[in-house]
Amino acid sequence: MSGTGSPPLRLTVNGRDHDVAATPGTALLTVLRNDLGLNGPKYGCGLGECGACTVLVDGVAARACVIPAGGVAGRAITTLEGLAQEGMLHPVQRAFIAEEAAQCGYCLNGMIMTTVALLARRPQPTDAEIRAEFARSLCRCGAHVEILRAVHHAAALVAHEAK
Amino acid sequence: MTPPRAALPRTRDDFHAARGVLVVVRDPPPAVPPARGQPPTVPADPAEGVEILVAVWDDGSVTGLCGHVDLGTGLRTSLAQIVADELDVPFDAVAMALGDTARVPNQGPTIASASIQISSVPLRLAAAQARGWLVERAAARFAVARDALATRDGVVFVAPDPARCVSYGELVAGGHVQLELDPTTPVKPVALQRLVGQPVPRVDLPAKAAGEAVYVHDVRRPGMLHGRVVRPPYVGVDAGDFVGNSLVAVDEASIAHLPGIVAVVVIRDFVGVVAEREEVAEAAARALRVEWKPWPGVAGLADVKNALRTNPATRRVVAERGDVDAALASIAQPLTREYLWPYQLHASIGPSCAVADWHGERATVWTGSQNPHTLRADLARLVALPAPAIEVIRLEASGCYGRNCADDVAADALLLARATGRPVRVQLTREQEHLWEPKGAAQLMQVSGGLDAEGRALAYDFSTSYPSNAAPTLALLLTGTVAAQAVAFEMGDRTAVPPYAYAHLRVAAHDMAPILRASWLRGVSALPNSFAHESYIDELATAAGVDPVAFRLRHLDDPRAIELIAATTRRANWIPHTAPQGQGSDGNILKGQGFAYARYVHSRFPGFGASWTAWVADVEVDRVSGEVQVRRVVVGQDAGAIINPAGAVHQVHGNVVQTTSRALKEQVPLDARGAPEAREWGAYPILSFREVPVIEVVTMPRQGEPPLGIGEASSVPGTAAIANAIFDAIGVRLREPPFTPETVRAALGVATPAAAAPALAAPAVPTGSITPVRRRRRGAWSVAAALVAGALGMAGALLGWRPALAPVGASDPSLFTAAALSRGREVAAAGNCAVCHTAPGGVTNAGGRTMATPFGTLVTTNLTPDPDTGLGRWSYAAFARAMREGISRDGRHLYPAFPYTAFTRLSDDDLLALYAYLMAQPPVRNEVAKVDLPFPYGRPAIAIWNALFLDPGAYAPDPTRGAAWNRGAYLVEAAGHCGACHTPRGALGAERGGGAYLAGAMVEGWEAPPLTAASHAPVPWTEDEFFRYLRDGHTREHGSVAGPMAPIVRDLASLPETDVRAIATYLASLHGPAGDTAAVARSLAQASRGIAVDSEAARLFDGACGACHHGGDGPVLVGRNLPLAHYSSLHSTRPDNLLRVILEGVRDPATAQIGFMPAFHDALSDRQVALVAAYLRARFAPDKPAWPDLESAVARIRAHPTP
Ligand code: FES
Ligand code: FES
């Protein structure tokens, strides 16, 4: 976008506004990690292929490595760190812990964030829908079985707590 | 909350100096003498004193220390279980320290699943010994006999009178007690274990799920800089004269324009850049011009099997019984087979990362290495410090399964920290991790043998060729610290001896040097060896006409194996069969079941036996597509005593998924030079969630037995089980994983289905051909007349005849009405002035953007009202003359790249409004270079050009058309100057008239597609679609805007809706009736769905692009996933726009909803981009001919990036 000088970039992350010194073309992932000190989103490929960097943009899953930070200024960005409410982990996080749905856990951020986005859209997904949603979320340790269980578990928890 | 004391000490000295603690230590074990053919071990340094194993603190907390690290296997949890159990403390009282060289014992690399089997032993003894000491102390305090006391939850109490008790904390308070490890200390009997054998939840997961865990990637130090490395051209090869000797020059000026560069570090072939910010380091690594000597490549790797056969080797017979040669000479039914394993990747999800800090005589390195002590020795060598001066702090990292680039990057970070004197974090890119990680080696297994007359396995003559090595830490080689010689190790012998009672047996390892850089990958050489053993015995069973499981049992005498096989096949409902294809088919789907068994024997021959494992795999094979689906895997495992049953099951699941992935999909593609070609996940696909089988685990109850490694053992027989199941399904034996659809199709003799689609049955599209004709207002005679006038004009120009118009004082913006200003803003937006008159990153309309034209490169002018460098002294008359006639205020001709041939059509009112608007903007001083093109394109020639091609005068409405149409035509022809891009130009650079008007052209390397009925759009354009496309930047029926059109759409956003609608009305009138476009769109999208033939190209597309581009059966991500079948770029005669989007991505889309696309420039080779493009064309534009010579088109576009 044609710029008029370079005013600080303002991002709304986990409910708070932040002015950052990065140029608008800097990857959102880099800004979240380096300027805001957030460790949830991880660098895996930088190409939108693996999902390790997933955050939510207005509640929809987004791969922060392919998004220039300037492109999401003014939109609500949520990271793994922003899921907990009043000191209580999000039900999806609790479900992943309960099912031990990670080995090294490098992919865990992406799996949890993708689940949150999926359940917001489809509160009771079928197994096939879950597999489709995660078709391009990569895990090399092979925690897939536990992750699939965790998504079902999370769906049940979210439904239960909504009551 | 104060942290427990157990977590605090960072170094051995901290432990030794502490009060209120009981520590159990041991003398470092003596150095292991170097063994032939094995990588050298790094012994403990006696100067570092005793090794600390366990510490019990006065706050009740306990530290356990182990030299091995947790790779996501749950080791931290399991070891804590062992310590807490032996000590009788609550589980959460234990803090495990793993891997940090300044405090933990040196127990060698974390490999071969030996952590529980071997490295936990001293830890457990130490915990038991500490408990004994505590009981002893309490006995003295209570003056009772030792055996009157019991322990529980960190308390010693008098068993008959539990009120008489004392906590461990009290017992150690105030003092410092050090016990020497007594290896004869009795440990708890199984019956008394409370935690071992229980599914204790993983200690690390809550923090990981909350985003609070600190991985090595998350280390931040005060003042930390960011580094990137630039690797040499000998991709993934670490032996040869060229290693460390290939750098020619580094041009630091090539990154001088980047802000915050701190250092460029060059040591022979080691090249690194350091910057204050990570994105700058990233850009610098990309932009840095580095010249390398040419690299010839790896000869002969095109044929991996032959390369292994001919790689110089030393034959080493490791097992022999009977007389193999005699048996083979007289065998009733001989069977000779070869099995080939491909090069594979560890493929960690997170590319390696490390942080280093240099303090002069000491250094600290934060790493995710699997081998911290070995790494420390390498680092010490690299920077010539004694090893103890380097503190290696081990943090969790992405799972690694052997040895990825974690060690390499730690060394890189240390070099950059030394050069800058500040902490430096180095992150490898995905591309570097894929290309440079030491590969899991290819391997060739050859078997001669067969059956005797009774159908029993008689002889087994096995040889295995494994070109692996220790993959020296890269920086040692690149800097020339260590000579880059290929060293042959004796490592191919893991599990090389088959478990079956072949009467005559000979097993030989062909020890050989590496070809590609390689290191151990889960299962090391055992996995391929077992693949051969277990495939071969299956082949024998078929030859003997015996069920494969029954046949194995006839040749097995190990009772634990026999029990395991029985339990596993029972759970799996094994269907005994003596010939393949007993399960019949279901349409095109053939079903099969396969079995395999192994006991993983690891470490130096004869090695240690880890767990016993059996697999039953159920597969389905599509006989047309060749796709193999592993539906269900039942894994039986006898791992002895299990520390954490939940953890053990998770480990087996992980092994099954990874092994299935390796069996079906994984192979490092090699380019023409023999170098690895995969730089991202499309070229090296791994199993996706869609393909994950149902997994059932059968665990043998063996709690009384010693615990055995499970981390990789359950992988070992997996590939053979799958190959055997495929054989059962299709009746053809596959001996060379991966079992891709191509392999299966070839095995079945099925022709590869053409990627091209069946003829499209699209609803008929009415093809009205309406050729728009730009209505010239004068005929041929007037052109001739003008030519004469132009010639005169030129003469005039030479004589300075076009007068300069007098400069005027600054305009007073208050003279212009608000209405004029607002109208002017719209005209500017419709004319997209800012798009050309703004330099990248510069001030809007202040000029300075360079524009490449076929006649030379021009620089756009400053349109702000700055008096000296902009329009500040331009009168309206001067402005109008420039716009209508292309004459600058000073009388010089403007180059027609400035589209005055269109602007001349502006109405007087609009021209004045535009002038008002520009004059009302804040003046910006920006001197731009004045460019004069060389003869014959000099400014005087433009007079002639104008005579030929300029037809001055405002737009004249067409009275036969409606107001909206005329408004649209006016916007398109005048301010919008759409023709400037969309109309092809003649030899002299003028837009061609007649039928060529808006018929499509190339601009700055992009195709501005035809806007007329000549459009490539597969779905006919309608007024509504044009409107939405221009408003939103995307539509379902035409995809999204990209390239130079994106800023145009952004500008159009400030135009009133009626104007955009008018443009759409006009443009739609250039097309015939559209018919039922929704039906056309549906059928196109539909047709493309049926053409998903699995192939390298399809996999590339799926892996690289599939997260965002799919037919609705993939993830929902921010941005639009529009049907690719509808994009005109895929239907065009030229591939340019598609190739540009793939290479350059979409970084600045027309509207936010479109979403972003990464540039694949660095991630895909020319060949790969060409493959993807050809695939997309065939799949989404199946009625169009294939684009010719795509690979050179990719190279051409790569060489000329969009400015
Ligand atoms: S890091 Fe963003 S998708 Fe892989
Ligand atoms: S748990 Fe390691 S990559 Fe998924």
> Cβ–Cβ of B1104/A49 closer than 8 Å?
yes
Residue B798 pLDDT: 45
Do the interacting molecules here have an ipTM over 0.90? yes
What percent of chain B shows pLDDT beyond 90?
A: 78
CA atoms within 13 A on the CB side of A122: 16
Task: Say if ligand 1 is within 6 A of residue A49 CB.
Answer: yes
pLDDT greater than 60 at residue B754: no
Per residue in B211-247, pLDDT (tens digit) is: 999 999 999 999 999 999 999 999 999 999 999 999 9
Which ligand lies nearest the alpha carbon of A103? 2
> Cβ–Cβ of B211/A40 closer than 8 Å?
yes
Q: Are B734 and B539 in contact, with CB atoms under 8 Å apart?
A: no
Based on the number of CB atoms within 10 Å of its own CB, is B540 exposed (0-12), middle (13-18) or buried (19 or more)?
Answer: buried
Q: Which residues of A touch B695 (CB under 8 A)?
A: 145
Q: How far is the CA of B440 from the centre of ligand 2 (A)?
A: 19
- Determine phi and psi for B285, rounding to 5 degrees: -60, -30
- 3.40.50.300, 1.10.150.120, 1.10.3720.10, 1.10.10.10: which CATH number matches A91-162? 1.10.150.120
pLDDT greater than 60 at residue B479: yes
- 1.10.1240.10, 3.40.640.10, 3.30.365.10, 3.40.50.300: which CATH number matches B216-296+352-427? 3.30.365.10
Which ligand lies nearest the alpha carbon of A41? 1
Question: Average pLDDT in the B1052-1059 region?
Answer: 94
Q: Between these two residues, B877 and A163, which has the higher pLDDT value? A: B877
Residues 270-289 of B with CB under 8 A from A: 277-279
Single-letter amino acid, residue B978: C
- Mean pLDDT is highest, among A21-35, B740-754, B778-792, B820-834, for A21-35
Per residue in B570-623, pLDDT (tens digit) is: 999 999 999 998 898 899 999 999 999 999 998 888 888 889 999 999 999 999
Question: Average pLDDT in the B93-118 region?
Answer: 82
Query: How close A8 gets to chain B, by Cα (Å)?
Result: 14
Task: Say if ligand 1 is within 6 A of residue A48 CB.
Answer: yes
Question: Average pLDDT in the B517-541 region?
Answer: 96
Residue B766 pLDDT: 44
Residue B712 pLDDT: 87
Q: How confident is the model at residue B1086 (pLDDT cuts 50, 70, 90)?
A: confident
Single-letter amino acid, residue B440: G
d(CA B518, CA B472): 10
Task: Say if ligand 2 is within 6 A of residue B399 CB.
Answer: yes
Query: How close B155 gets to chain A, by Cα (Å)?
Result: 30
pLDDT greater than 80 at residue B767: no
Q: Which residues of B touch A137 (CB under 8 A)?
A: 689, 1115
* CA B829 centroid distance within chain: 40
- Determine phi and psi for B837, rounding to 5 degrees: -95, 20
Nearest residue by C-alpha to atom 4 in ligand 2: A139
Q: Which helix (H) or strand (E) holds B1078?
A: helix B1077-1089
Residue B160 pLDDT: 87
Q: Which helix (H) or strand (E) holds B622?
A: strand B608-622
Helix ranges (H only) for B1132-1188 are 1136-1144, 1166-1180
Mean pLDDT of chain B: 91
Helix (H, G, I), strand (E, B) or coil at B424: strand
Q: How confident is the model at residue B171 (pLDDT cuts 50, 70, 90)?
A: very high
Single-letter amino acid, residue A11: L
Per residue in A96-154, pLDDT (tens digit) is: 999 999 999 999 999 999 999 999 999 999 999 999 999 999 999 999 999 999 999 99
CA atoms within 13 A on the CB side of B992: 13
Question: Average pLDDT in the B1171-1197 region?
Answer: 96
Structure tokens at B1021: 């354009």
Could you state, in order of their start, the residue ranges of all structural domains in chain A?
9-82, 91-162
Task: Write down the pTM of the prediction.
Answer: 0.94
Cα B84-B86-B87 angle, rounded to 5 deg: 65
Per residue in A80-101, pLDDT (tens digit) is: 999 999 999 999 999 999 999 9
Dihedral angle, C-alpha B397, B399, B405, B408, nearest 10 °: 40
Q: Which CATH superfamily is domain A9-82 in?
A: Beta-grasp domain (3.10.20.30)
Q: Are B1001 and B982 in contact, with CB atoms under 8 Å apart?
A: yes
Range in B603-612, B648-657, B734-743 the model is least confident about: B603-612
Residue B942 pLDDT: 85
Q: How confident is the model at residue B768 (pLDDT cuts 50, 70, 90)?
A: very low
Q: How confident is the model at residue B1093 (pLDDT cuts 50, 70, 90)?
A: low
The residue with tokens 């065998």 is B331
User: Who contacts B330 (Cβ-Cβ below 8 Å, separation ≥6)?
Assistant: none
Question: Closest ligand 2 atom to the C-alpha of A105?
Answer: 1
Per residue in B383-442, pLDDT (tens digit) is: 999 999 999 999 999 999 989 999 999 999 999 999 999 999 999 999 999 999 999 999
Q: Please state which CATH class domain B5-210 belongs to.
A: alpha beta
Q: Between these two residues, B1119 and B798, which has the higher pLDDT value? A: B1119
Query: How close B226 gets to chain A, by Cα (Å)?
Result: 10
Per residue in B24-47, pLDDT (tens digit) is: 999 998 887 888 888 778 888 888
d(CA B682, CA B8): 44
Q: Which residues of A touch B841 (CB under 8 A)?
A: 3, 6
Q: Between these two residues, B163 and B44, which has the higher pLDDT value? A: B163
Range in B331-345, B532-546, B951-965, B1156-1170 the model is least confident about: B951-965
> Cβ–Cβ of A140/B347 closer than 8 Å?
yes
What percent of chain B shows pLDDT beyond 70?
A: 95
User: Who contacts B577 (Cβ-Cβ below 8 Å, separation ≥6)?
Assistant: B547, B548, B593, B728
- Find the residue in A nearest to B206 (Cα): A97
- Determine phi and psi for B642, rounding to 5 degrees: -105, 130
Q: How confident is the model at residue B780 (pLDDT cuts 50, 70, 90)?
A: very low
Q: Which of B72, B680, B1119 sits opposite A141 (nearest CB)?
A: B72
Based on the number of CB atoms within 10 Å of its own CB, is B17 exposed (0-12), middle (13-18) or buried (19 or more)?
Answer: exposed
Distances from the Cα of B1151 to the Cαs of B671, B678, B978, in angstroms? Answer: 39, 33, 20
CATH architecture group of domain B1074-1199: Orthogonal Bundle (1.10)
Query: How close B350 gets to chain A, by Cα (Å)?
Result: 5
> Cβ–Cβ of B1158/A46 closer than 8 Å?
yes
The dotted CATH code for B443-748 is 3.30.365.10
Q: How far is the CA of A64 from the centre of ligand 1 (A)?
A: 7
The residue with tokens 């993934």 is B236
Cα B450-B451-B454 angle, rounded to 5 deg: 175
Q: Which helix (H) or strand (E) holds B780?
A: helix B780-798
Could you state, in order of their start, the residue ranges of all structural domains in chain B?
5-210, 216-296+352-427, 443-748, 779-954, 1074-1199
Per residue in B120-140, pLDDT (tens digit) is: 889 999 999 999 999 999 999
SS3 track for B87-126: HCCCHHHEEEEECCCCCCCCCCCCCCCHHHHHHHHHHHHH
Task: Say if ligand 1 is within 6 A of residue A50 CB.
Answer: yes
Residue B770 pLDDT: 53
Residue A14 pLDDT: 98
DSSP characters over B116-166: IIIIHHHHHHHHHHHHHHHHHHHHHHHT--GGGEEEETTEEEETTEEEEEE
pLDDT greater than 80 at residue B638: yes
Single-letter amino acid, residue B300: G
Q: Which residues pair with B25 in a beta bridge?
A: B52, B180
d(CA A3, CA A18): 20
The residue with tokens 């949603």 is A133
Strands B225-230, B424-427: pairing is parallel
Per residue in B1065-1080, pLDDT (tens digit) is: 999 999 988 889 999 9
Residue B290 pLDDT: 98
Residue A3 pLDDT: 38
Residue B481 gets which letter from DSSP? S
pLDDT greater than 90 at residue B1203: no
Distances from the Cα of B5 to the Cαs of B14, B88, B889, in angstroms? Answer: 11, 18, 81
Q: Are B517 and B301 in contact, with CB atoms under 8 Å apart?
A: no
Q: How far is the CA of B1098 from the centre of ligand 1 (A)?
A: 20
Task: Report which of B574, B575, B690 is spatially closest to residue B629, judged by C-alpha positions.
Answer: B690
> Cβ–Cβ of B1115/A114 closer than 8 Å?
yes
Range in A66-75, B151-160, B574-583, B1090-1099 the model is least confident about: B1090-1099
d(CA B1081, CA B1128): 12
Task: Say if ligand 1 is within 6 A of residue A45 CB.
Answer: yes
The answer to whether the Cα torsion of B2, B8, B14, B19 is positive or negative is: positive
Strands B289-292, B694-699: pairing is unpaired
pLDDT greater than 80 at residue B938: no
Q: How far is the CA of B805 from the centre of ligand 1 (A)?
A: 58
Number of CB atoms found within 10 A of residue A122's CB: 14
Dihedral angle, C-alpha B1176, B1181, B1182, B1188, nearest 10 °: -70
Per residue in A21-68, pLDDT (tens digit) is: 999 999 999 999 999 999 999 999 999 999 999 999 999 999 999 999
The greatest distance separating any two alpha carbons of chain A, rounded to the nearest whole angstrom, comes to: 51
User: Who contacts B1115 (Cβ-Cβ below 8 Å, separation ≥6)?
Assistant: A51, A61, A114, A132, A133, A134, A135, A136, A137, B1107
Q: Are A63 and B1156 in contact, with CB atoms under 8 Å apart?
A: no
Contacts 24+ apart (CB under 8 A), B39-42: B39/B469, B39/B470, B39/B489, B41/B108, B42/B106, B42/B108, B42/B373, B42/B374, B42/B376, B42/B377
Q: How far is the CA of A13 from the centre of ligand 2 (A)?
A: 26
The residue with tokens 């941005």 is B1119
Residue A6 pLDDT: 59
Per residue in B95-105, pLDDT (tens digit) is: 999 999 999 99
Single-letter amino acid, residue B271: V
Question: Closest ligand 2 atom to the C-alpha of B348?
Answer: 3
